[in-house]
Amino acid sequence: MRYWTLTEEDIDRIAIGCGILGTGGGGSTYHGSLRAKALLREGRRIRMVRPADMAPDARILGIGGIGAPTVGIEKIAEGGEGVRLLKAVEQHLGRKVDALLGDEVGGGNGIAPMLTAAMADLPVVDADGMGRAFPEVQMTSFFIHGQEVKPAALADADGNVLIVTEATSPKMLEKLLRAGTIAMGCTALMTTAPMTGDFVRRFGIPHTTSQAWTLGNAVLEARASKADPVEAILKTSGGIRLMHGKVTDIGRRVMAGFTRGRLTVAGLDADQGRVLTVDIQNEYLIAREGETALTMVPDLICIVDSETGRAIGTEELRYGLRIDILSVPAPVLLRSEIALASVGPRAFGYDFDFVPTGISADAPAVPHYQEAG
């Protein structure tokens, strides 16, 4: 088995990249990266494994946060939620789990499985179900392609654990977990049903932690060389810049367990005179100029600080921020007809079809994997 054993420097790069891939959601990477580095200093290890290297019958458990980002940035996780979830699911199944992964790589959810894996000494699969962040549980490539809906579980910072033993559909599972999350204060950690190694290899978005590392590394190298980190993101991701501008208005509120709102940005410099709006449901969904949609889900709308390239989450938006709005092509699996029914514009209530921006391509694994010694 080949592993990539993470260092603190790797965590820094992955956190930057997960923030960019978070499309405004997925939770802050700040607390998760601090916890991950603290665990490494305690002598624990975080080992990544490529999906192709997992045994076909391996049992892989997805872990990630659920709730409203504007709540999660203030209601900080206790730290042991993932271990409590893991124990509850293993007890329910009557068998051990072989590895963890993040249901979504975006934001803090890209780091969440690493924390539990370090405490349980399990590997983390270099893959996820979104290649970004989405607001609803059923919006993963795994559920799109038939992942079981049970058992699923929730845990909060107060020690509560909820197991869903029956659900009629992935959409109903979303409703049940969302209701539980609201009862837990609009932020919790969740697991979905275990998957086999073969299933993850066929229907996961491959090497998304590697992709996050590569993005973060490009940003850090650009900063060190006094180059433009935003250009480094575009070159690495195959994305385009929609606008350079300033936040002039942000309307945002928590509704039914989601952060919803709309962002307005006025163009600066070469974009002077232009105005873009971005719809928000935890993540950035649609970017418009007037009545024209420039880019839309499932393609990624990434908003970053114009000077540093740091991702700006929906919970951080405020008047006067100088930002760049970027569009990055969605992973290959998310642009299929079957996937668009769950993650395209119509899945969010818009009355138009998906129009792609750029060319999709799966990310390669970083060259850091080595045979276990």
Give the chain's count of helices (H) and strands (E). Answer: 11, 19
Examine the domain organization and report whether 149 and 288 are in the same domain: no
Q: Is 160 within a domain?
A: yes
Within a domain: 70: yes
Q: Cα(135)–Cα(27) distance, rounded to whole angstroms?
A: 11
Q: What is d(CA 90, CA 29) in angstroms, rounded to the nearest whole number?
A: 27
Residues 195 and 271 in one domain: no
pLDDT for res 130: 97
pLDDT, one tens digit per residue, over 56-95 is 999 999 999 998 877 777 778 888 999 999 999 999 999 9
Do 151 and 272 lie in a common domain? no
Assign 54 a pLDDT band (cuts: 50, 70, 90): very high
pLDDT tens digits, 93-124: 999 999 999 999 999 999 999 999 999 999 99
Asked whether the predicted pLDDT for residue 55 surpasses 90, the reply is yes
C-alpha pair distances (Å), 5 with each of 16, 81, 216, 278, 359: 18, 23, 17, 38, 31
Q: Burial, 57: exposed, middle or buried (Cβ in 10 Å; 0-12, 13-18, 19+)? A: exposed
For residue 221, being part of any structural domain is answered with no
Q: Does 217 reside within a domain?
A: no
pLDDT, tens digit, for every residue of 135-161?
Answer: 999 999 999 999 999 999 999 999 999
Q: Is the pLDDT of residue 298 over 90?
A: yes
Q: What is the CATH number of the domain that holds 293?
A: 2.40.390.10
Average pLDDT value for the chain: 96
Mean pLDDT of 207-224: 98
Give yes or no: residues 150 and 101 share one domain. Answer: yes
213 in any annotated domain: no
Q: What is the chain's length?
A: 373
User: Does the predicted TM-score (pTM) go above 0.75?
Assistant: yes
Number of structural domains the chain divides into: 2
Question: Is 150 in the same domain as 189?
Answer: yes
**So what's the pLDDT on residue 253?**
86
What pLDDT was estimated at residue 127? 98
In which region does residue 226 sit, left (phi positive, over 0), alpha (psi from -120 to 50) or beta (all else)?
left
Query: Would you state the pLDDT for residue 93?
Result: 94
Pairwise CA distance, residues 97 & 109, whole Å: 19
Q: The domain containing residue 99 runs over which residues? A: 2-208+364-371
